[in-house]
Amino acid sequence: MTQTAVPAVPLPIRIPIREIVPWAVFVVLLALIALYFVSAEQGATAVFANMYVHEFVHDGRHLLAFPCH
């Protein structure tokens, strides 16, 4: 009796969307907060008093082409 080889059919990979969505929302929220501090944390819209946050992100602000002075 001869046996023929049956090619194995790969099963599709299941992506657990319900596990990924909370982490994706968390990462997007952190990115938006970081973008706020780099782009708008100065002057009238400042959340924190003084210029500590502005000076901390000053070089990143110029690197991303946000004017600040």
* Tens of pLDDT, residues 19-33: 999 999 999 999 998
- The mean pLDDT of 48-65, rounded to a whole number, is 78
The per-residue pLDDT for 58 is 80
pTM, full prediction:
0.61
**3-state DSSP helix/strand/coil % of the chain, to nearest 5:** 55, 0, 45
Residues 31-66 as b/e (b if ≥16 CB within 10 A, e otherwise) read eeeeeebbbebbeeeeeeeeeebbeebbeebeeeee
The per-residue pLDDT for 39 is 78
DSSP-derived 3-state class of residue 26: helix
Q: Which residue has the higher pLDDT, 63 or 42?
A: 63
Work out the pLDDT band at 5, boundaries 50, 70, 90.
Answer: confident
Query: Which tokens belong to 5?
Result: 């080889």
